[in-house]
Structure 1
Amino acid sequence: MEDDAPVIYGLEFQARALTAQTAETDAIRFLVGTQSLKFDNQIHIIDFDDENNLINKSVLLHDAGEIWQIGSSPADKAIVNTCYNKTSESRVCSCAALWRIPPEWESGNQECPEDSSHNPQSLELLCPLESAAHGPPACVLWEPMGDGKRVISLAENHVLVWDLQESSSKATISSSATLEGKGQLRFTAGKWSPHHSGSQLATANDTAIRGWDLRSMSQIYCMENAHGQLVRDLDFNPNRQYYLASCGDDCKVKFWDVRHLTEPIKSLEEHSHWVWSVRYNHSHDQLLLTASSDSRVILSNMVSISSEPFGQMVDEEALSDCEDNPMEDKGKEPLQDSIIASYEEHEDSVYAVEWSAADPWLFASLSYDGRLVINRVPRALKYRILL
C-alpha cells in the first residue's frame, strides 16, 4: 500500500543515537546525534510531515564530541541530554550534559533559516551531568512521567539520581547506589519504570538484569544470566507493571515477569546478530520493535503477553485470575503471537529504533551509516487492533 512506504533520510555522518521528542505530542519529531571523528558533531531535528510524507530537518552543532546516547525531556521540548566522547590531551573521555535547543528551532514550525545546515547554530550548554568520583556516564534516563526535574545517569557501576534546578541549569546528585561484586562491573543499559510512581529502575550489566528501588536505592531483583551474552537494552511494558523486555548479543529478545524470575515468559529468536534495541509501543503493548546489527528492524505482535491477550481490554485482576486458573477461561483462546514485518531498508547495523511520541503507528530506525528510516505499522494490522 502506497502510504506504508518507508521514508528515508541520510545523514552525512555515522550515527547511533536516536530519540523521539517526548514533550512534543503534536508534531512527529525525532532527534539524531552524529558520531564524526573529523568534523563537528551535530544533532539533526527531524520533523515528519505525515500528510505529505516529507521530512524537514534542522541541524544544530554539538561541538562537544561524538554522541553515543541522546534523550529528550518529557516536560520541556527544548531540553535534551547527550552522552558523548571527547578527546582531551589525546585521551578519550566520556561525558554527559543537558543542552537547550535555540528557541527558533524548538517549535518545529519550519520557519528556521534555510541555511541551517550550512551555518548551523550551536546547542546551549545547560549543565554537565558528570561526577569525577563516579566514572564516565554510559546513559542518562529521564523520569518517564515526570516534570523534567529528575534524571538518572548510569556511570560505570553507579546509579546516580540527579535533581535539576533553575530550568535545568543546575544539577545535584540526590541519591546513588553502587553495584558491588567481582570483576569490571559496568552498566550497559537501563530503563526507568513508568509504573510504581517512578520508584523503580531496571539496569543491565554484562549478562545480568537488576531491579532497583529508588526510594531506598537498594536492589529488589536480579537475574544473573538473563542472556547468554551481553544485555544491550531493556524496556517496560507500558500497561503491565511487572513485564519487562530485554535483548542482547545472544540474538534473543526475552520477556520477563519480574515477580517470577526463574525463566522468561517468552523468547524471540528472529534476529541473526546482536539485538541493540527493544521498544514497546506506548499505546498498544502487543506491538514490539527490535533493531539489530543484522541490518533489520522487526515488528512483532506479542499479543499473548499483552494487556489485551484475548482481543479486548482486560484488567490486571481478571488477568491474574486467568493466570492462576487457566482452566476457567471460558474457552477463550489467547490470540497468536506473530512477526508482523521485517524491515530491510538498512544496509548497516541498526543501533536504535523509537516509536513516535505523537503518532502511535509510526516509528524511526537509525543505522550506523547515518540512514534514518521512518516506517508505519501496516494499515491492515492497525485497523485490526483498532476495530
Structure 2
Amino acid sequence: MKRWTLAELAKETGAQLRGNADLMITGLATLRSAGPEQLSFLANPLYRSALAVTGAGAVILREEDAADFDGNALIAANPYAVYAALTHHFDRTPRREPGIHASAVVDPDAVIDPSAVIGARAVIESGAVIGPACVIEPGAFIGARVSLGQGCHVRANAVIHHDCVLGNRVVIHSGAVIGDDGFGFAPANGRWNKIAQIGRVVIHDDADIGANTTIDRGALDDTVIHQGVIIDNLVMIAHNVEVGAHTAIAGCCGISGSTKIGSWCVLAGGVGLVGHIEVCDKVHITGMTMVTKSITKPGSYSSGTAFDTTDNWKKMAVRLKKLDETTRRLRELEGLVQQLTSKTD
C-alpha cells in the first residue's frame, strides 16, 4: 500500500499545509466515506454540509472554506486540481514490464520500440510503428502502417485501423474504434454504392478517447483530433470532422461529417451536430442540444425544452403546435390596435 505524509503531499502540490504534517495518508475518498488515513476534498459548494461530518484524516479545500473546518487541511485555490494531481499517487493500475507477450501476433515488418509493452493476443500489422513507452493492452488491434508516438496507451480490445496516426501520450480506451470507414454511399441504379474511405484519422498529442467511441477515417482528407482533446465514452465522430485543441466532448454526442469544432469548446452529453457546419472557439453547448447551423460567436448555446411532468409537457407540446396560428392572430391584433390608435389620434 502506498503511503505519503501530509507534508509530502503538500510539497508535491504546492498546497498550504495546516495541521499534522506527519499524518500518513493511504488513499483518497469522498467527504462522506473517507476514513482517518484518507484524504478528501471540497470543490463543489453543494457538498459543503458534508465537511462538518467527514471522517477524513485531511481535506483539500479553499481558504474561505478552511475557516469553518478545524481538521487537518491542504489549502489551495483550486482543490479539484490538487485532487486530480494526487490521484496518480494512489493509482492502482497494473504496471507492465516492457516486452512482447508470447501470444501476441506481431508482423515482422512492424517496428516496436524496446521499451513498449505488447499485451497478450494483441495484433500488430505490417508497417506499424509503436513508439517508446507505449502500452498495447491484451486483445488490441493495431492496423497496417499505423504510427504511435511516445507514451501512447491503447487499452484492451481497442481497434486502430490502417494508416492512422497518433501523437504522443494519446490514450485510446477499451472498445474504441479509430479509423473505420465513414458512412459514405452514393445512390445510383436503385442501390447504395459504397465509397472507399481513403483518408486517415490523425490524433494529436495528449488526447484521450473514451471507451466504445468511434472516430471514422476521412473520405478524402483526414479526420483530425487536435492536441489535448478529451472525448467521453460512446461518442460518434464521423468522417472528416475536425476537433480543435483542448475541446471536451461528453458521452453520447454525435458529430456528423465534415463538421469543424473550434478549440476550448465543451459539448455536454447527448449533443448532436449536423454535417458541414463550423463551431468557433470557446463555445459551450448544453446537454441534448441539436446544433443545425454554424456558431460564430463564443458563448453558451441550448435547444429543446426542459423536462416537466407528462401532463404539463403535453400541454406545452399542444401550444407549440399552435404557435404559428397564435403568432398570426397576434399580428392581426397588433394591426387592429395600430388602426384604432391612428383613428383616435
Could you tell me the TM-score, scaled by structure 2's length?
Answer: 0.32
More strand by share: 1
Larger RCO: 1 or 2 (CA < 8 Å, sep 6+): 1
Could you tell me the TM-score, scaled by structure 1's length?
Answer: 0.29
Name the larger-Rg structure.
Answer: 2
